[in-house]
Amino acid sequence: MAEIVRGVGVSPGFATGPAYILPTAPLEPKTLGSPQEERTAYDAAVVISAAQLEEIALQLRSEGHDSEAGIMEAQSLMARDPTMLDAVHERIDAGQPAAHAVQEAAADIKAALEALEDPYLAARAADVQDVADRIIRALHPDFDAPPMRDPCILVAHDLTPSQTASIDRTLVRGFATDAGSPTSHTAILARALDIPAVVGLGDLTERVQNGQEIALDGEAGTVSLNPDGSEREAFARGAAAQAEQKRRLHRLRDEPAQTRDGHRLTLAANIGSPDDVPAALEAGAEGVGLFRTEFLFAGQDQMPGEEDQVEAYAAVLKAMPDETVVIRTLDVGGDKPLPYVPATREENPFLGLRGIRYTLANSEVMRSQLRALLRASKYGKLAIMFPMVSELEQIEQARTLVAEAQAEVGGEAEIGIMVEVPAAALIAHQLAPHVDFFSAGTNDLAQYGLAVDRVNERVAALYRPLHPAILSLLAHTVAGAHDHGRWAGICGEMGGDHLAIPLLVGLGFDELSMTPSRIPAAKERIRNLELAACRDLAQRALRCATAAEVEQIVRNRF
Ligand code: PEP
Ligand code: MG
């Protein structure tokens, strides 16, 4: 009987094969040199590592993975970072071998980042370790991982972004790591490369031997050790079914997202950079329902200039000139601080200076983004969306800034808001005349509506977007929009959720926006529904007392 190890699935898909355990380089030198010799060896290792990272970045860029290339470029900068250099030199001068000094200096930097208790910065700590490991390997030129010859599943303690980017993708069928989180760059890369991956598996590297047969389910987040014949067959069937499902769904690519009785919705994509557009188009997205621009701002060490922003926005608009592209203004704050925005420590950052509150308080940031957006608007159908709106005054102030930017650079755009604060949902009727559209951000609407921190595992069981109270806020949102002839969309994770879709159709949403990989299944789901039945379901769901009851009535009927 196979042993199952549970982690977090971060990139869906099935994979089986022998484990290939990535070894770590030794920290002890064969012979300890003088501090001067250790310094020279370290300085050379830094140059080699930075050059390797630049090379990986170039390779990724030539394959069209621009944001992943950006990660490697950032790591190359990290390798040459003066703070790191000084910290290592200091330790070497105190008599430590270079590899030790690198390891310890990196550990200090990592600890400082992790102490900030922020998932984004904690994931950056993984980058620091990645860079340190690379430098340590460069200090041991005779150390090399054994060559990978056959198809395998890569197992590592914490597979680093640069290792992920440089592995042989013809041989690696999946990743499994002891550490890691869904927001780590390894997870981001695995998804971008479409390789099944599970992270957070605890002590997997201790429990598995090189060459041992393992099976990985990137959706369920499990790794099965020594799967027997029947389990391997089940995996093979799962993989075949998945491939067949992909083919079947692909055939719907150019079909409308329309219920059986002819009610049409728009299925749009959530993207974080222009690099995500090809996947969105391939999935059949009819436009972009949410471009999270903070990723553009987070991928570097300073605010992007207006020109860089125009380029990024124009790239998306040009790729979809006939479809609406909703670009959200910077939603900094909460769980998304920017490395170069000196964050004042807030007791409750999710209730603090986040989204439109930040950009209205720092109007230069907003002005430059609005100018860039309006300048790019000539390439397509732009819609500008403001996050975290809770008051009419915020819309009025934002509109004044839009008008001022328009007076400077021209351009045109629809103007909308995210409905993600319950107050906005409850006064949707009063807000609607002042905007062109609403898009419900259900990730936050559920967080604020249920008072459940969306990134706190301890209260995760209470995070139920299908709670009748949240459905009621959504019903208010749609009614407010439609009563004033505005359209209403959804751009939270709920928009692509199999169970939620019949409810959202029944509540009357006009557009559902989701991560591109979920679009084909959402379309199939909609094409099997009937509007009248969905409406009836939604009305019944609004009268339920619990999320569990809502889930039950959806399951019973669809
Ligand atoms: C949301 O809150 O639902 C949303 C789409 O925005 P984000 O996840 O970026 O906060
Ligand atoms: Mg949000």
Q: Tens digits of per-residue pLDDT, 103-139?
A: 899 888 888 877 777 666 776 777 888 888 888 888 8
Q: Check residue 376 and give its pLDDT.
A: 98
Q: Is 476 a catalytic residue?
A: no
For ligand 1, atom 8: residue with the closest CA? 443
DSSP secondary structure of 93-115: HTT--HHHHHHHHHHHHHHHHHH
Mean pLDDT across 89-94: 92
Of 185, 467, 476, 534, the catalytic one is: 185
Q: Check residue 231 and give its pLDDT.
A: 84
Judge whether residue 65 has pLDDT over 80: no
Q: Which atom of ligand 1 is nearest to the CA of 290?
A: 5
How many C-beta atoms lie closer than 10 Å to residue 128's C-beta? 24
Judge whether residue 161 has pLDDT over 70: no
How many C-beta atoms lie closer than 10 Å to residue 548's C-beta? 11
**DSSP secondary-structure letter at 433?**
G
Query: Does ligand 1 have an atom closer than 6 angstroms to the CB of 183?
Result: no
Query: Does ligand 1 have an atom closer than 6 angstroms to the CB of 420?
Result: yes
Give the Å distance between the CA of 184 and the centre of ligand 1.
18
Q: Check residue 260 and give its pLDDT.
A: 97
CA dist list (Å): 277 to 6, 192, 316, 327: 33, 12, 7, 13
| pLDDT-based confidence at residue 429 (cuts at 50, 70, 90) | very high
Q: Check residue 399 and give its pLDDT.
A: 98
Q: Check residue 186 and give its pLDDT.
A: 67
| pLDDT-based confidence at residue 422 (cuts at 50, 70, 90) | very high
Average pLDDT across the chain, whole number: 89
Query: Does ligand 1 have an atom closer than 6 angstroms to the CB of 492?
Result: yes
Q: Check residue 464 and give its pLDDT.
A: 92
Q: Check residue 395 and give its pLDDT.
A: 98
Give the Å distance between the CA of 441 and the centre of ligand 1.
5
The residue that leads in pLDDT, 476 or 299, is 476
Digit-coded pLDDT (tens) for 163-184: 776 778 889 999 999 887 665 6
Digit-coded pLDDT (tens) for 515-547: 888 899 999 999 999 999 999 999 999 999 999
Digit-coded pLDDT (tens) for 350-391: 999 999 999 999 999 999 999 999 999 999 999 999 999 999
Mean pLDDT across 451-460: 79
The residue that leads in pLDDT, 147 or 21, is 21
Pair of tokens at residue 95: 């008599």
| pLDDT-based confidence at residue 426 (cuts at 50, 70, 90) | very high
Of 152, 467, 491, 534, the catalytic one is: 491
DSSP tally for the chain: helices H, then strands E: 23, 17
Q: Check residue 189 and give its pLDDT.
A: 66
Q: Give the mutation target among 356, 418, 438 for probing the ligand 1 site: most ligand atoms within 8 A of CB.
A: 418
Q: Is 26 left (phi over 0), alpha (psi -120 to 50) or beta?
A: beta
Mean pLDDT across 475-494: 97
Query: Does ligand 1 have an atom closer than 6 angstroms to the CB of 449?
Result: no
Query: Does ligand 1 have an atom closer than 6 angstroms to the CB of 273?
Result: no
Let me know: does 81 contact 108? Beta carbons within 8 Å: no
Pair of tokens at residue 410: 């021209």
Q: Give the mutation target among 290, 336, 354, 443 for probing the ligand 1 site: most ligand atoms within 8 A of CB.
A: 443
Burial 180-218 (b: 16+ CB within 10 A, else e): bbbbbbbbbbbbbbebbbbbbbeebbebbeeeebbbbbb
Judge whether residue 1 has pLDDT over 90: no
DSSP secondary structure of 259-276: -TTS-EEEEEEEESSGGG
* Residue carrying the six token digits 């200096």: 105
Q: Is 152 a catalytic residue?
A: no
Query: Does ligand 1 have an atom closer than 6 angstroms to the CB of 491?
Result: yes
C-alpha count within 13 angstroms, C-beta hemisphere, residue 161: 32
| pLDDT-based confidence at residue 149 (cuts at 50, 70, 90) | confident
Q: Check residue 300 and give its pLDDT.
A: 67
Query: Does ligand 1 have an atom closer than 6 angstroms to the CB of 444?
Result: yes
The residue that leads in pLDDT, 62 or 544, is 544
